[in-house]
């Protein structure tokens, strides 16, 4: 078993143009910075990206957008990115807006081997258009489908060479769900350790879900809204 790759370039080597990718993170928190940079360098295009947000201008998925590499975004909130809005209004970019809990649960369903889930969110709104509605206990639910994603790219705090992952604080967010949901899952970690160094009681993502792992470098970890209080 050898899941360790040297770097991000090697991890994303076989991601083709037109692929469907899941990218972990919430805002800029817990995003796979190294793999995004490698995808920009590689120049693959026509990507469908499943990610809660679309980065900001000049960082995160914003870099892929500026480089015109994204055909479609599947996201819950994209309000931080002017280039995104420009491409959307000009028709260059497709977008499927999905309620955040529905997005998370569709990722979860994918990783749990469930084809669909029934969720109330969006019933009676434009999100419900074209979806099957089922009634349970007098309430209406939308049938929401699992994803068919070729690759999932996640960022963890620590990982071992078996692919076991631990996330830090709210940088966990969508990462463990997407890690379960890729046909091929790539994990970049801040600290890569030997098997046995992580306590099995505290593993968030078991290594069975992770196909490639590497220690990332030069994490910028930008903060979107720096809020502080006075001492």
Q: Which residues bind other proteins (CB under 8 A)?
A: 26-30, 52, 75-80, 85, 88-89, 95, 97, 99-105, 107-108, 119-127, 157, 167-177, 204, 221-231
Rounded least distance, CB 15 to other proteins, Å: 24
Rounded least distance, CB 141 to other proteins, Å: 9
Which residue pairs from 83-87 have beta carbons closer than 8 angstroms and sit at least 24 positions apart in sequence? Answer: 83/57, 84/54
d(CA 7, CA 188): 9
Rounded least distance, CB 85 to other proteins, Å: 7
Pick 2 or 230: Cβ nearer other proteins: 230
Rounded least distance, CB 76 to other proteins, Å: 5
Q: Angle CA(49)–CA(53)–CA(56) in degrees, nearest 5?
A: 105
Pick 47 or 73: Cβ nearer other proteins: 73
Pick 2 or 201: Cβ nearer other proteins: 201
Closest CA to 98 of 132, 73, 66, 71: 73
Contacts of 207 (CB under 8 A, 6+ apart): 3, 160, 162, 163, 164, 165
Closest CA to 11 of 154, 166, 138: 154
Pick 12 or 30: Cβ nearer other proteins: 30
């Amino acid at each position: 078993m050898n899941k360790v790759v040297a770097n991000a370039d090697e991890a994303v080597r076989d991601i083709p143009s037109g692929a469907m990718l899941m990218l972990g993170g919430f805002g800029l928190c817990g995003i796979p910075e190294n793999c995004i940079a490698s995808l920009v360098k590689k120049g693959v295009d026509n990507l469908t990206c499943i990610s809660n947000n679309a980065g900001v201008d000049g960082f995160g998925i914003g870099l892929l957008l500026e480089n015109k590499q994204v055909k479609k975004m599947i996201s819950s909130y994209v309000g931080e990115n002017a280039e995104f809005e420009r491409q959307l209004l000009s028709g260059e970019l497709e977008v499927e807006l999905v309620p955040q809990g529905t997005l998370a649960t569709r990722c979860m369903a994918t990783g749990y081997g469930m084809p669909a889930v029934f969720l109330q969110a969006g019933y009676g709104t434009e999100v419900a258009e074209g979806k099957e509605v089922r009634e349970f206990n007098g309430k209406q639910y939308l049938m929401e489908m699992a994803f068919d994603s070729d690759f999932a790219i996640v960022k963890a705090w620590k990982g071992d060479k078996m692919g076991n992952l631990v996330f830090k604080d709210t940088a966990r967010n969508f990462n463990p769900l997407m890690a379960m949901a890729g046909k091929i899952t790539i994990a970049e970690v801040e600290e890569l350790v030997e098997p046995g160094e992580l306590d099995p009681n505290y593993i968030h993502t078991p290594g069975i879900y992770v196909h490639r792992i590497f220690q990332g470098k030069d994490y910028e970890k930008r903060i979107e809204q720096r809020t502080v209080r006075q001492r």
